[in-house]
């Protein structure tokens, strides 16, 4: 009987991950984040900074072996907005240093704040998980609480409302709630408006692309990973429906720096979709030929540059996740350098989204180096 239930769950999970629709129960009602509408991104903006990161002799991406990255901000970042001080706002009920859990319109947020950021003036990094994951399981893979917070950033990781098989994002209802909570965090912690960044994996990568398409004026740079919303079949199978199609009616209001990553052996979101999304951006922003800035037998990291130093980086890897304990072909749908692995995991955990080591780099270190190098100009 237990085996039958396990097989049924595996079937439903495969259906969700390849894009078949499965009803999601209504989200619990929590504290209102204040608003919920996206900021209307209008007008043309400058294209970003496009700092030249360079490469290491070993061929790895430009992350200095785990050494601290210079955030470019003084240790006492202090207050912004003419002396405004951090203060609770809406669902953000505390601005003290430490690890917080806030509930904003039914969505739980895990937020990491250093003593430095409790003074105001830090950046903000929003890190969004994929299907069946949570803020905690994602952080095992990205390590952003440990890597990003000491660099002068508030790290904010939401957990989606629970669906049939676990947390799952529903774009129509959850996108406005996440955006509203982001703005509440910005107000409460007096976030530096030049340093608001977003990254996400799978469903979270799709959300990152949607926010880029709708609100580029409010974001400094973004880093989507293996993006697919898992709501419709066309999200994962050709002809792919892009999360940011770069059409005349649906495209970012301005070019912003992007670091995009995808696994060549991804068993859930084909690499062809990642390439199609990349090519749409390159064509719309008229970016030039790629330059390889890091490579090995297992990954290639290229950079495209455009007017005003705009940087678009595209990283592909061939690592794979540990074999899950349900029949789901995850394969290369994973995050390099994480600790969300089958070894040592509780028996109740069936899905693992960190790439099986050894990996040449830690994604959290790489993405933070990118964000630090690309504030809004």
Domain membership of residue 18 (yes or no) is no
pLDDT for 261 equals 98
pLDDT for 233 equals 63
pLDDT digits (tens, 9 = 90+) for 49-71: 233 333 333 344 444 333 344 55
Domain membership of residue 235 (yes or no) is yes
pLDDT for 231 equals 72
CB distance 174 to 160 below 8 Å:
yes
What's the CATH number where 315 sits?
A: 3.40.50.1820
> By percentage, how much of the chain surpasses pLDDT 90?
66
Domain membership of residue 6 (yes or no) is no
pLDDT for 45 equals 32
Task: Please give the Cα distance from 158 to 216 (Å, whole number).
Answer: 20
pLDDT digits (tens, 9 = 90+) for 7-60: 444 434 444 444 443 333 333 333 333 333 333 333 333 333 233 333 333 344
How far CA 175 is from CA of 39, 189, 196, in Å, comes to 12, 21, 17
Task: Please give the Cα distance from 293 to 313 (Å, whole number).
Answer: 9
pLDDT for 275 equals 97
* Confidence grade of residue 185 (pLDDT, cut at 50, 70, 90): very high
pLDDT for 106 equals 96
pLDDT for 27 equals 37
Domain membership of residue 1 (yes or no) is no
Domain membership of residue 73 (yes or no) is yes
pLDDT for 59 equals 41
User: Angle formed by the axes of helices 135-142 and 363-373, to 10°?
Assistant: 80
pLDDT for 42 equals 33
Domain that residue 172 falls in: 46-79+87-373
> By percentage, how much of the chain surpasses pLDDT 70?
77
Domain membership of residue 24 (yes or no) is no
Domain membership of residue 5 (yes or no) is no
Task: Please give the Cα distance from 355 to 358 (Å, whole number).
Answer: 8
* Confidence grade of residue 344 (pLDDT, cut at 50, 70, 90): confident
Mean pLDDT of 285-302: 96
Model confidence, pTM: 0.83
CB distance 198 to 208 below 8 Å:
yes
Total number of domains constituting the chain? 1
pLDDT digits (tens, 9 = 90+) for 319-337: 999 887 677 889 999 999 9
pLDDT for 50 equals 32
pLDDT for 18 equals 42
Could you tell me how far CA 103 lies from the centroid of its own chain? 20
Q: Is the dihedral of CA 284, 289, 293, 297 positive or negative?
A: positive
SS3 state at 108 = strand
* Confidence grade of residue 79 (pLDDT, cut at 50, 70, 90): low
Average pLDDT over the chain, rounded to whole? 83
Domain membership of residue 344 (yes or no) is yes
Contacts of residue 9, defined as CB under 8 A and 6 or more positions apart, other chains included, come to: 165, 326
Mean pLDDT of 272-296: 96
């Amino acid at each position: 009987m237990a085996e039958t239930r396990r097989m049924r769950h595996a079937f439903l999970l495969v259906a969700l991950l390849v894009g078949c629709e499965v009803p999601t129960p209504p989200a619990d009602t929590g504290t209102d984040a204040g608003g919920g509408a996206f900021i209307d991104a209008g007008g043309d903006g400058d294209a970003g900074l496009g700092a030249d990161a360079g490469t290491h002799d070993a061929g790895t991406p430009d992350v200095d072996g785990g050494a601290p990255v210079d955030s470019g901000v003084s240790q006492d970042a202090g207050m912004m907005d003419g002396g405004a001080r951090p203060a609770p706002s809406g669902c953000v009920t505390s601005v003290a240093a430490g690890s917080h859990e806030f509930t904003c319109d039914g969505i739980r947020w895990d937020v990491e704040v250093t003593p430095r950021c409790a003074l105001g003036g830090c950046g903000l990094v929003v890190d969004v998980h994929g299907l069946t994951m949570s803020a905690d399981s994602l952080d095992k893979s990205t390590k952003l609480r440990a890597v990003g917070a000491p660099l002068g950033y508030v790290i904010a990781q939401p957990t989606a409302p629970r669906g049939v098989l676990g947390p799952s994002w529903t774009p129509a209802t959850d996108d406005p709630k996440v955006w509203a909570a982001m703005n509440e965090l910005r107000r409460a912690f007096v976030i530096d408006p030049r340093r608001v960044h977003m990254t996400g994996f799978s469903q979270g990568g799709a959300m990152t692309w949607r926010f880029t398409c709708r609100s580029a004026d409010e974001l400094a740079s973004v880093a989507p990973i293996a993006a697919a919303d898992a709501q419709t079949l066309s999200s994962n199978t050709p002809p792919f429906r892009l999360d940011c199609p770069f059409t005349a009616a649906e495209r970012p209001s301005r070019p912003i720096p992007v670091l995009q990553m995808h696994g060549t052996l991804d068993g859930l979101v084909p690499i062809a979709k990642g390439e199609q999304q990349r090519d749409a951006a390159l064509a719309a922003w008229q970016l030039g030929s790629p330059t390889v800035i890091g490579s090995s037998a297992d990954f290639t990291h290229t950079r495209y540059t455009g007017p005003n130093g705009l940087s678009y980086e595209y990283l592909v890897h061939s690592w794979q996740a540990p074999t899950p304990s349900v029949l789901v072909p995850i394969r290369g749908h994973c995050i390099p350098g994480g600790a969300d692995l089958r070894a040592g995991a509780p028996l109740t955990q069936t899905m693992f989204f960190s790439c099986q080591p050894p990996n040449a780099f830690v994604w959290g270190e790489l993405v933070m180096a990118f964000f630090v190098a690309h504030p809004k100009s």
